[in-house]
Structure 1
Amino acid sequence: MDETLSKQALNELAKAFKALQLETSYKAKRNAAWLKKTLMWCDEHAINLGREGDSKHYYIARDGIQKLDAKLQSMGYSALLDYQQGVAGDRLDGANVSPNEKDAKELPTEHLVLAACSDLSLCLTYQSLFQLTETPAQVQVELDIRTLDLTSYDYLIVVENRDCFSAWHQYQIPSELINALVVYRGHESHHSKACQALKARWLEQKGTSGQVYFGDFDPHGLAIAIEATTPYQYLLLPELTWLKEHCLPTHFDEDKAYSKREIAHCCPSQWRTLLDTMYQEGVALRQQWMFVTQLKLY
Structure 2
Amino acid sequence: MELGKSEITALSRFFRDESKLLLSSKGKLKQWLEQNFDLYHNGKGFVFDAASKEQLRSEIELSYPRLNMRAGLPSEQDRIAISQYINNEKLADIKPSDHHVLVKSHNTPLIIAGDTFHLPQGTSLRLAVDDIDFSQFASIIIVENLDVFDVWHKINLQHSIPSSLIVYRGHEHATAKGLKLLLATLPNNIAVIMFADLDPKGLEIALTTERVIGVLAPSIDDINKLLLAYSQSAVFLRQHSSVTYIAQRQNIAWQGVLECVLQHKLAVMQQVFVALNMPLICYK
TM tier relative to shorter chain: 0.5 to 0.7
Deviation at 1:262, TM superposition (A): 2.7
CA distance change for structure 1 residues 271 and 117 in 2, over 3 Å: closer, same or farther? closer
Deviation at 1:261, TM superposition (A): 4.0
Q: Is the 8 A contact 2:218 2:278 kept in 1?
A: yes
C-alpha distance in 2, partners of 1:149/1:121? Answer: 11
2:184 is the counterpart of 1:196: no
Deviation at 1:163, TM superposition (A): 0.5
CA distance change for structure 1 residues 221 and 109 in 2, over 3 Å: closer, same or farther? closer
For residue 253 of structure 1, what is the aligned residue in structure 2? Answer: 236
For residue 218 of structure 1, what is the aligned residue in structure 2? Answer: 199
Query: Could you tell me the TM-score, scaled by structure 2's length?
Result: 0.58
Q: Is the 8 A contact 1:115 1:183 kept in 2?
A: yes
Q: Is the 8 A contact 1:100 1:189 kept in 2?
A: no
2:126 is the counterpart of 1:142: yes
Structure 2, unaligned stretches of length 5 or more?
1-5, 7-71, 83-87
Aligned Cα root-mean-square deviation (Å): 3.7
Percent of aligned positions that are identical? 26
Letter matched to residue 280 of structure 1: Q
Letter matched to residue 211 of structure 1: V
Q: Structure 1, residues 220-249: CA drift from partner, whole Å, max 9, x if none? A: 000011122x13101001111101121334
For residue 244 of structure 1, what is the aligned residue in structure 2? Answer: 224
Q: Is the 8 A contact 1:212 1:236 kept in 2?
A: yes
For residue 56 of structure 1, what is the aligned residue in structure 2? Answer: none
CA distance change for structure 1 residues 152 and 166 in 2, over 3 Å: closer, same or farther? same
Letter matched to residue 138 of structure 2: D
C-alpha distance in 2, partners of 1:255/1:239? Answer: 25
For residue 275 of structure 1, what is the aligned residue in structure 2? Answer: 258
C-alpha distance in 2, partners of 1:176/1:119? Answer: 9
For residue 234 of structure 1, what is the aligned residue in structure 2? Answer: 214
CA distance change for structure 1 residues 151 and 119 in 2, over 3 Å: closer, same or farther? closer
C-alpha distance in 1, partners of 2:95/2:217? Answer: 34
1:111 is matched with which residue: 79, 99, 115? 99
For residue 293 of structure 1, what is the aligned residue in structure 2? Answer: 278
Specify the SS of the correspondent of 2:238: coil
Aligned pairs for 1:1-298 (under 5 A) are 89=73, 101=90, 104-117=92-105, 133=120, 137-187=121-171, 192-202=176-186, 205-207=187-189, 210-228=191-209, 230-245=210-225, 246-247=227-228, 248-251=230-233, 252-258=235-241, 260-291=243-274, 292-298=277-283
Q: Is the 8 A contact 1:239 1:295 kept in 2?
A: yes
CA distance change for structure 1 residues 149 and 120 in 2, over 3 Å: closer, same or farther? closer
Larger radius of gyration: 2
CA distance change for structure 1 residues 268 and 118 in 2, over 3 Å: closer, same or farther? same
Specify the SS of the correspondent of 2:131: coil
Instruction: Say how many residue pairs are matched.
Output: 197
C-alpha distance in 2, partners of 1:197/1:280? Answer: 36
Q: Is the 8 A contact 1:117 1:138 kept in 2?
A: no
Letter matched to residue 279 of structure 2: Q
Structure 1 residue ranges, 4+ long, deviating more than 4 angstroms after superposition: 118-122, 188-191
CA distance change for structure 1 residues 222 and 119 in 2, over 3 Å: closer, same or farther? closer
C-alpha distance in 1, partners of 2:171/2:212? Answer: 19
Q: Is the 8 A contact 2:107 2:163 kept in 1?
A: no
CA distance change for structure 1 residues 146 and 295 in 2, over 3 Å: closer, same or farther? same
C-alpha distance in 2, partners of 1:89/1:190? Answer: 23
